[in-house]
Structure 1
């Protein structure tokens, strides 16, 4: 069977990693795999598979211009699918999904959303238009959402048929230590992994960490990733007087080295689909603290009910949701204080820490790669349903 993976580029990110993970699996099973990229990226994963690149333009300001680019790309994609006799085309993220659907020949169309769309007010391009998503996504054979929250979001806010949607989380990768690599950050390290982007709200994490540092002077915060707000985050570090204990190493291929040496992983996103870093940390026995953001984070830690304060869930600690840029002053908001208190609690309470370390390992088994691949196999090799 000929399977096409349609993705914006091989830029470093969760969707790209999952695409490669699936491609490797289906190649081993004997399928022919090809990648269709909408454009060439910057820092990227190595892709050894046959591939083709379009010259697609992202982030057009005018809707009519965006529509022209989508139609142009769909026409090119349709020819490529026909040329390589594609049987299944699997796309990731909205631009790719629209182009995949519009370029259909006789192949099966499977699309994958990677975020909680209604919570992303920053995404204003045509491809995020609710009417367009409703019209096009209902033409796909299957839609894969990474969390139950995102599935419900598609149904309730975009009118997507429930019977078309499957929930498949991302796999939890278990990292092994590299003995040759040094670690110079100490023991009380709080880790965050994610591109430096407003949606990840790393400014909030830094502000909360300033309170952690006051209570635990040897605590350090490492923010792994690169992106457009690096200078802004450096400014926040100076402003909060934590520039000596907050580190921004940039992008790192070997995130496992950092995960294995950290004590806690923290998330505070405006919205998430399904954060790979969270389950990867849990697979290494690293407890997680996350805000109650739309998407997969609350599901991963086992949220059972809505509460206003710190929630000690079965698999991790949940603190109240916070959205938007931080206050201009240095005074912490209530939600930032609660996030800090949760991190302090884990670092200071060894019994609680060990409890959540064990629970993290237990939770990660649910996201074992074999479980995830079985879910995908049912979608990829399943029978086509009547639309």
Structure 2
């Protein structure tokens, strides 16, 4: 995965002067705080996390899960986080799902520990930068599904079908179908989990620091 090359594509979002002269480097991943990949059977939970606001488009996740739930009623949707849309989202989930099929646990300082055993992590955002929660979920070896949202976000991390699944922004059916694929094929879920975990090799703090050193050496010579 040549993530550094892919990240450079983010330069097109800046003024042409910066696009020509700039370089995009990722934030380092603190490997020490990432829990080890879950071993054994996964809990039948679909999890999402983030600020409960418009950008994250949690209504999309709720609606997609409701479709998924029709054929997978042994699963529960858990959405971690807090924000201005909390009560609205709870009412929306209540209108589509039985009460025991969803929960909103709120914010937690132990998010990674709480979600590491879940069957899949889903990001439903309309737009993102470089989503840390996706990086961390992948580094834990979780099956990850994400909308292919601008400015690139998850598409710089996920090779569709190889180490996760990308779905078009706002498309309920595509997101629901992706959930079904992960839930119904253990072989596929294990494959994308193991490939996802390799993100640690790319974003390890030492690797990123070396890229920074190379860049600083280059500009000091210029």
Query: Which band: TM-score by shorter chain?
Result: 0.7 to 0.9
> 1:164 and 1:199, CA in 2 relative to 1: closer, same or farther beyond 3 A?
same
How many residues get paired?
Answer: 209
Quote the Cα distance in structure 2 between the aligned partners of 1:365 and 1:351: 23
Does structure 1 residue 164 correspond to structure 2 residue 33? no
Quote the Cα distance in structure 1 between the aligned partners of 2:208 and 2:84: 32
In 2, are the aligned partners of 1:149 and 1:296 still within 8 Å (CA)? no
Cα shift at 1:173: 4.2
Structure-2 residue corresponding to 1:366: 202
Does structure 1 residue 258 correspond to structure 2 residue 114? yes
Cα shift at 1:379: 4.9
- Greater gyration radius: 1
- Note the aligned Cα RMSD (angstroms): 2.3
Q: Select which of 94, 101, 109 maps to 1:245.
A: 101
Structure-2 residue corresponding to 1:77: none
Cα shift at 1:162: 2.2
Cα shift at 1:380: 5.8
- CA offsets 1:112-162 (integer angstroms, 9 cap, x no match): xxxxxxxxxxxxxxxxxxxxxxxxxxxxxxxxxx944432211xxx33422
Normalised TM-score (structure 2) = 0.84
> 1:224 and 1:147, CA in 2 relative to 1: closer, same or farther beyond 3 A?
farther
Q: For 1:375, what is the secondary structure of its paired residue?
A: helix
Q: For 2:97, what is the secondary structure of its paired residue?
A: coil
Cα shift at 1:282: 1.0
Does structure 1 residue 315 correspond to structure 2 residue 163? yes
Structure-2 residue corresponding to 1:197: 53
In 2, are the aligned partners of 1:148 and 1:296 still within 8 Å (CA)? no
- CA offsets 1:277-321 (integer angstroms, 9 cap, x no match): 11111111101111111122112112xxxxxxxxx4322111112
Q: Which has the higher contact order (CA 8 A, sep 6+)?
A: 2
Structure-1 residue corresponding to 2:11: 151
Q: Select which of 167, 176, 181 maps to 2:35.
A: 176
Structure-2 residue corresponding to 1:122: none
In 1, are the aligned partners of 2:29 and 2:204 still within 8 Å (CA)? yes
Q: Select which of 157, 162, 182 maps to 1:300.
A: 157
> 1:337 and 1:160, CA in 2 relative to 1: closer, same or farther beyond 3 A?
same
Cα shift at 1:382: 5.9
Structure-2 residue corresponding to 1:218: 74
Quote the Cα distance in structure 2 between the aligned partners of 1:367 and 1:242: 40
Structure-2 residue corresponding to 1:231: 87
Quote the Cα distance in structure 2 between the aligned partners of 1:227 and 1:377: 38
Structure-2 residue corresponding to 1:338: 174
- Give the gaps of 5 or more residues in structure 2: 1-5, 37-41
Cα shift at 1:244: 2.5
Cα shift at 1:165: 2.0
Quote the Cα distance in structure 2 between the aligned partners of 1:382 and 1:205: 44
